[in-house]
């Protein structure tokens, strides 16, 4: 049986590398204003599909400005991008698409971006992860702009929502998801537990489906990172039930 690890940024490496970037995804769905089912106005964070290219979509300009929209308008925009997204994607309000865009400077660690719930790696790191047999990797070129003459090639990993947090670690009085917008509001428990029955068996890297800012790697992913000596990432093993 695989072991599963919550991936967090290793802030101790920031002083060593001193690189940074200030980026946003190129396109995104709007947030939702006043859901007719639950009344909530909300937007998700962490659901990002960098491999989904909206550049040929005639309505692409409608995905360039962060904002909130009423439910009927959100649904219209969501259905425009659904054919371009991975099959069975839920696409909640605030889902992002396309490459990271923005300025970057300095020397980045082999793994960066985790503080924003992304994983950006150098090309050599990505190639080595693939060579080590890490499953399910999808790498997408970023559009980060460096000032130096020979900028590094940076790859963002597309990490899709798959498994779930187990019901045992959630509040006992938690209401079910809204049947209209899908929102289920709760804070991340101090001691997360993963739902074994929901976990994917074909990838070594995924987001938690009901808390997309939580990125999970298997022991195969952890072993590849540690054997490569790559910095910028910390591992916290989570129980499975």
The whole-angstrom separation of Cα 192 and Cα 207 is 13
The answer to whether 138 and 86 have CB atoms below 8 angstroms apart is no
Per-residue pLDDT of the chain in tens (241 residues, 90 and over written 9):
789 999 999 988 887 888 889 999 999 999 999 999 999 999 999 999 999 999 999 999 999 999 999 999 999 999 999 999 999 999 999 999 999 999 999 889 999 999 999 999 999 999 999 999 999 999 999 999 998 888 889 999 999 999 999 999 999 999 999 999 999 999 999 999 999 999 999 999 999 999 999 999 999 999 999 999 999 999 999 999 9
In-domain check, residue 17: no
Residue 57 structural domain: 24-97
In-domain check, residue 197: yes
Position of tokens 């937007």? 43
CB atoms within 10 A of CB 115: 10
Please tell me the total count of domains within the chain. 3
Could you say which of 97, 112, 144 is where a domain stops?
97
237 - beta bridge partners? Answer: 5
124 and 66 both lie in a single domain: no
Buried/exposed 4-26: b ≥16 CB within 10 Å, e otherwise: bbbbebbeebeeeeebebebebb
Could you say which of 77, 97, 117 is where a domain stops?
97
119 and 141 both lie in a single domain: yes
81 and 109 both lie in a single domain: no
46 and 67 both lie in a single domain: yes
74 and 132 both lie in a single domain: no
In-domain check, residue 16: no
In-domain check, residue 18: no
DSSP β-ladder status, 154-157 and 139-141: antiparallel
The answer to whether 216 and 198 have CB atoms below 8 angstroms apart is no
- The DSSP secondary-structure symbol of 161 reads B
This prediction has a pTM of: 0.95
């Amino acid at each position: 049986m695989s072991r599963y690890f919550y991936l967090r940024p290793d802030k101790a490496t920031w002083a060593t590398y001193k690189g940074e970037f200030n980026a946003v995804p190129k396109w995104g769905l709007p947030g939702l204003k006043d859901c007719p089912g639950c009344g909530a106005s909300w937007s998700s964070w962490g659901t990002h599909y960098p491999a989904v290219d909206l550049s040929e979509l005639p309505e692409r300009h409608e995905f360039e400005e962060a904002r909130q929209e009423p439910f009927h308008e959100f649904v219209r925009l969501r259905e425009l991008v659904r054919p371009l997204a991975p099959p069975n994607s839920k696409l909640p309000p605030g889902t992002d698409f396309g490459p990271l865009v923005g300025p970057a400077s300095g020397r980045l660690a082999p793994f960066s971006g985790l503080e924003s719930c992304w994983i950006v790696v150098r090309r050599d790191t990505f190639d080595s992860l693939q060579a080590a047999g890490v499953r399910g990797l999808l790498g997408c070129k970023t559009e980060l702009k460096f000032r130096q003459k020979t900028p590094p090639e940076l790859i963002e990993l597309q990490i899709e929502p798959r498994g779930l947090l187990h019901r045992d670690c959630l509040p006992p009085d938690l209401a079910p998801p809204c049947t209209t917008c899908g929102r289920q509001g709760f804070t991340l428990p101090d001691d997360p537990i993963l739902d074994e029955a929901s976990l994917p068996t074909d990838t070594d890297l995924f987001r938690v489906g009901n808390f997309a800012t939580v990125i999970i790697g298997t022991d195969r992913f952890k072993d590849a990172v540690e054997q490569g000596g790559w910095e910028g990432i910390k591992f916290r093993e989570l129980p499975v039930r």
